[in-house]
Amino acid sequence: MASSNSGETGAGLVLRSADPLNCETPISALMGGTVTPNENFYVRNHFRVPAIDGARWRLEVGGLVRRPLRLGITDLVNLPAQVQTATLECAGNGRAFLAPPVSGEQWELGAVSTAEWTGVRLAEVLDRAGLKSGAREAVFRSADRAIGRHSRGAGRFEWSLTLDEVHQADVLLAYAMNGQPLPIQHGYPLRVIVPGWYGVAAVKWLTEIEVVGQPFRGYFQTEKYVYEWERDGRLEREPVRQMRVRSLITEPDADGEVDIGPLAIRGLAWSGVAPLARVDVSVSGGAWQPAELFGQPSTCSWQRWELLTKVSGPGRIALRSRATDGAERTQPEQPEWNRLGYGNNAIQEVSIRARRPRSSFAGR
Amino acid sequence: MASSNSGETGAGLVLRSADPLNCETPISALMGGTVTPNENFYVRNHFRVPAIDGARWRLEVGGLVRRPLRLGITDLVNLPAQVQTATLECAGNGRAFLAPPVSGEQWELGAVSTAEWTGVRLAEVLDRAGLKSGAREAVFRSADRAIGRHSRGAGRFEWSLTLDEVHQADVLLAYAMNGQPLPIQHGYPLRVIVPGWYGVAAVKWLTEIEVVGQPFRGYFQTEKYVYEWERDGRLEREPVRQMRVRSLITEPDADGEVDIGPLAIRGLAWSGVAPLARVDVSVSGGAWQPAELFGQPSTCSWQRWELLTKVSGPGRIALRSRATDGAERTQPEQPEWNRLGYGNNAIQEVSIRARRPRSSFAGR
């Protein structure tokens, strides 16, 4: 944060794959603020970004409803608005650190970002459509299309939530991101936001909501986004849902240099399961020290944290942070391996080097 | 908000003068979110933007203190951090609408923006310096310099606050803006943020804080930022301080077209004097209707508001919004003229045209 004098907005994105486009957020873009600027917000696509004409685009709401709806953007904007700051994390964030390695995008730590989303509550739209008895789930369908080598198992991106899940998460249909229309790579003109859940549920380029009476068995939620591991020779499976508790060290820079003397260690922490209870920090293997948490505890959005300490001599220092949520879940020491590499919320270690100071308080 | 499919961040800034650089925020960039992206944040300069080398930059804290300080950016970053969302409005915002016209930048309505600022509380720094008895005010000095035609009356930008004002506003020394290092045009590396006050107090490129024992009589606060008007043949003067209560209509677009049917009217409102009590909206001269306010009432940051109504026939419609704060201050019907054109918080009127709809809810 202290090294730029260019006035530039900074580091942009780190490209992981070009087709489909997948990029992660540089940790340096996560210093200091709550929301991530749109140009630094991580991008996760399963297929190519579709071409969409906003004037012709419509959202169809059908299935087990009394009044099927066909809504243009103007219709949605004229419904009561809801503003929600929500953190989105790719379930595969941290996959690159699993051993043995697993296939899939090799995300390091930056497939997570936070935005202030504006839109319409899904409940508001479903109330206008009117649910029929027997309605159990809402299926979200995207305008994207599988082509060529990306086509196996799915023609387009689909995801469902039970109506209980819709209610509990207070799902938003978002048309704006940090006060701007959704950028096309983030789902223009409309995206599902499921606060607290991994980003996979945040369907982009939404064109259809179908209310169904039976559990939806789509490819992405039955074949793909599933924790899978063996225990006692048996295959265990669990669907990917809420974000696991996790923390990230954003300051000081990994592999950076710091002055001997006062040192601020800062970062972000979140859990989609329960609001954070605490974040602890350990310096070079020392005892866990409680960090100060800023902002309101919430399963929707990350919180900033800070620990002020002192560095007494030169050399290597290892910093670790560990978040614990109100459901008493905490970060494991080592990654919990699973076949497709989801939910790696292991404790992060950042190594820095301390040196003699170059500037200081006068008189210190 | 509904008309873009480019994924571009949008409208940038509206240039008012190039030297010194002064730009206002397009109202279209204020739709939807709380914070204004850095690239859309209005820019107000009295002098040229200085060139600053962050590695050599220091903040000097002196005058009536026991331990004068000389702080680099690293020193500041290693102090406890404070995060504060604060609205900054230029005291001359709306000057262009005064009659008779007054000199100065001809701001329309966009010399106002909001950011999440990160920095160190001024109280924290003053505590470390230690105030001597007799300390009364803090004078803030900028690295900018008057040159040529901008030089009259002042060699550099300076502003002071009493220590009571510092305490009441909980003044921040900010090094980050929306999670990024301060852009140079916004005061890199350090800027004063005085929540609730007009932007004039938010001294940029801060290099010096002098604690003094007498009221500071600087050019900008005694000659320039003063409400001045005649009453009963006598000149009355009052210094510019907190932002007056005000509201802004951001949707629908001024001079735009809307469909007959449901209409959402949205905007922003703020007061630096007291938290907002209410925002009312009048449609085509009809009764004032209470809008819904979002977020937490605060003198630091604006709040979003929304009124959902219906348009029953085609033709011209005049929309007006009026904010009232907890100190029972409200917006006047007409601008209150003063010699230098400050604090014009008159009710805004937006004219739109209604037409037959092109898209609608099915079955409506």
Give the DSSP per-residue string, B144-175: ----GGG-TT-SS-EEEEEHHHHHHHT-EEEE
pLDDT, tens digit, for every residue of B57-101? 999 999 999 999 999 999 999 999 999 999 999 999 999 999 999
* Residue A33, pLDDT score: 81
* Residue A7, pLDDT score: 29
Which residues does chain A have within 8 Å of residue B359's beta carbon, measured at their own beta carbons?
58, 71-72, 74-75
- A29·B118 Cβ contact <8 A: no
Instruction: For residues A303 and A325, state if they share a domain.
Output: yes
- B251·A77 Cβ contact <8 A: yes
pLDDT, tens digit, for every residue of A244-289? 999 999 999 999 999 999 999 999 999 999 999 999 999 999 999 9
CA B169 to chain centre: 15
Q: What is the CATH number of the domain that holds B320?
A: 2.60.40.650
Q: Residue A213 falls within a domain, yes or no?
A: yes
Instruction: For residues B78 and B182, state if they share a domain.
Output: yes
pLDDT higher than 50, residue B363? no
Q: Output the six-digit token pair for B25.
A: 């925020």
Give the DSSP per-residue string, B92-146: TTTGGG-SS--SS----S-SEEEEEEEEEEHHHHHHHH-BPTT--EEEEEES---
For A309, which residue in chain B has the nearest alpha carbon? B78
Q: Residue B129 falls within a domain, yes or no?
A: yes
Which residues does chain B have within 8 Å of residue A180's beta carbon, measured at their own beta carbons?
1, 9-10, 29, 31-33, 37
Instruction: For residues B65 and B208, state if they share a domain.
Output: yes
Q: Tell which of B183, B218, B239 closes a domain.
A: B239
Report in angstroms the alpha-carbon separations of B361 from A70, A73, B122, B358: 6, 11, 54, 11
- A2: nearest CB among B73, B359, B363: B73
For A37, which residue in chain B has the nearest alpha carbon? B37
Instruction: For residues A258 and A228, state if they share a domain.
Output: no
State the best of A263, A298, A359 to mutate against chain B, taking most chain B CBs within 10 Å.
A359
Distance from CA of B118 to the nearest CA of A (A): 6
- A9: nearest CB among B32, B38, B175: B38
Instruction: For residues A204 and A307, state if they share a domain.
Output: no
Give the DSSP per-residue string, B62-95: EESBSS-EEE-HHHHHTSPPEEEEEEEE-TTTTG
Domain that includes residue A301, residue range: 246-355
Instruction: For residues A310 and A270, state if they share a domain.
Output: yes
Number of domains in chain B: 2
State the best of B43, B58, B75 to mutate against chain A, taking most chain A CBs within 10 Å.
B75
Q: Residue A32 falls within a domain, yes or no?
A: no
Distance from CA of A30 to the nearest CA of B (A): 7
pLDDT, tens digit, for every residue of A215-229? 999 999 999 999 999
* Residue A6, pLDDT score: 28
- pTM of this structure: 0.86
- A363·B67 Cβ contact <8 A: yes
Instruction: For residues A194 and A329, state if they share a domain.
Output: no
* Residue B300, pLDDT score: 97
- A31·B185 Cβ contact <8 A: no
Q: What is the CATH number of the domain that holds B176?
A: 3.90.420.10
Arithmetic mean of pLDDT, A47-72: 94
* Residue B224, pLDDT score: 92
Q: Tell which of A239, A264, A281 closes a domain.
A: A239
pLDDT higher than 50, residue A8? no
Which residues does chain B have within 8 Å of residue A128's beta carbon, measured at their own beta carbons?
361
Arithmetic mean of pLDDT, B144-167: 80
Q: Tell which of A239, A270, A290 closes a domain.
A: A239
Number of other CB atoms surrounding residue B224 within 10 Å:
17
pLDDT higher than 90, residue B9? no
pLDDT, tens digit, for every residue of A134-157? 999 999 999 987 765 544 556 889
End-to-end CA distance of chain A: 24
- A308: nearest CB among B33, B35, B80: B80
Distance from CA of A312 to the nearest CA of B (A): 14
Q: Residue B41 falls within a domain, yes or no?
A: no
- List, in sequence order, every residue forming a beta bridge with A319; answer none if it has no partner: A283, A350
Instruction: For residues B214 and B257, state if they share a domain.
Output: no
State the best of A3, A5, A21, A294 to mutate against chain B, taking most chain B CBs within 10 Å.
A5
Instruction: For residues B299 and B317, state if they share a domain.
Output: yes
For A310, which residue in chain B has the nearest alpha carbon? B78
Q: In this predicted complex, what is the ipTM?
A: 0.78
* Residue A1, pLDDT score: 36
pLDDT, tens digit, for every residue of B42-60? 999 888 889 899 999 999 9
For B186, which residue in chain A has the nearest alpha carbon? A7
Which residues does chain B have within 8 Å of residue A304's beta carbon, measured at their own beta carbons?
83
pLDDT, tens digit, for every residue of B252-308? 999 999 999 999 999 999 999 999 999 999 999 999 999 999 988 999 999 999 999
- B81: nearest CB among A5, A30, A306: A306
Arithmetic mean of pLDDT, A8-15: 64
- B75·A38 Cβ contact <8 A: no
With vertex at residue B82, the alpha carbon angle to CA B78 and CA B84, rounded to the nearest 5 degrees, is 150
Confidence of residue B3 (pLDDT cuts 50, 70, 90): very low
Q: For residue B55, which phi and psi values (nearest 5 degrees)?
A: -70, -30
Q: Residue B176 falls within a domain, yes or no?
A: yes
Instruction: For residues A341 and A319, state if they share a domain.
Output: yes
Q: Residue A30 falls within a domain, yes or no?
A: no
Number of other CB atoms surrounding residue A193 within 10 Å:
27
Instruction: For residues A345 and A277, state if they share a domain.
Output: yes
Q: Residue A12 falls within a domain, yes or no?
A: no
- List, in sequence order, every residue forming a beta bridge with B307; answer none if it has no partner: B265
End-to-end CA distance of chain B: 24
Which residues does chain B have within 8 Å of residue A34's beta carbon, measured at their own beta carbons?
83, 116, 179
Q: Residue B39 falls within a domain, yes or no?
A: no
Instruction: For residues B129 and B276, state if they share a domain.
Output: no
